[in-house]
Amino acid sequence: MSQEIVSAVADANLKTVAESPAFSMAVLSQFTAQSSGRAMENAVTASNMANQMAVTANSAMMQQMASNANALSSLTTSLAADKQMITSAISAQVVNLVGSMGNGISAVSTAVAEGLVSVSGAAADSATSVTSSVGGGTASVSGAVGQGLTSVSGAAGKGTTAVTAAITDGLASVSGAAGEGATAVTAAVTDGMAMMTGVAEVGLTADAAAAIATAIAEMLIQVFGGGATAAASKSGVGPGGG
């Protein structure tokens, strides 16, 4: 067999003793190198991304600051314009208000003057009306007083006439009653005397009849007064009478 065939078969089927550790170390070295390279690559990539983010953020911040500055400038300009417009409007309103107040004061003064004139005229008219009313009331009161005095005088005259007539009627009644009483007493005395006379005729003595007649006459005098005395005198009855 040739030497080349033997070497080829030996290379294909046989391995050296140190090949496995060498292969392992080679693989480990390869992994380490690859991992380190990837780590450095990742670090570089992360740094680049961080730088890019920082640049982007800085750019965005600058743009935002510029936008804010522009907005602030626009706002300042707008506020200045609004302030000017508000100041002008307030000035115009103040001028209009002052003019309106002046017109209102003039109108109020005119109205007050007209009101005072109207009040003065009304007061004068009222005073005239009151004076006329007082005069009319005084005349009415005087007339009423005169009529009242006339009525009182007439009533007093009528009352006096009525009292006089009543007194006259009373006196006439008293006179009539006195006359009727005297007549009644006279009749009673006469009847008594007749009774005494009849009794005497029946059987009494003249002295007893005279005593009885005297007692009756005294009793009538005590009861009826002077009228009975006059009646007894006329009839002859009494002390010393027959």
Phi, psi of 225 (to 5 degrees): 80, -145
pLDDT above 90 (res 53): yes
In a domain, 196, yes or no: yes
Residue 229: name the closest of 188, 151, 135, 238 by CA.
238
What is the residue type of 117?
V
Between the alpha carbon of residue 16 and those of residues 7, 11, 21, 23, 174, the distances in Å are 14, 9, 10, 11, 202
Write down which residue in 100, 122, 148 finishes a domain: 100
Residue 202 has pLDDT above 80, yes or no: no
Is 120 a domain residue? Answer: no
Highest mean pLDDT among 186-195, 203-212, 213-222: 213-222
Q: What is the mean pLDDT of residues 200-217?
A: 65
> Residue 4: pLDDT above 90?
no
What Rg do the C-alpha atoms of the chain give, in angstroms? 83
Identify whether 94 is part of a domain.
yes
Residues shown for the chain? 242
Element (H, E) at 15: none
Determine, yes or no, domain membership for 53: yes
What pLDDT shows up at residue 73? 92
- Domain edge (last residue) among 100, 124, 155: 100
Domains in the chain, number: 2
Kindly tell me if the per-residue pLDDT of 123 is higher than 60: yes
**Torsion over CA: 220, 225, 229, 235 (sign):** negative
Q: Residue range 127-146: average pLDDT? A: 70
| Residue 43, pLDDT score | 93
- C-beta of residue 193 within 8 angstroms of C-beta of residue 215: no
pTM: 0.27
Say if residue 22's pLDDT is above 70: yes
Domain extent, residue 44, equals: 37-100
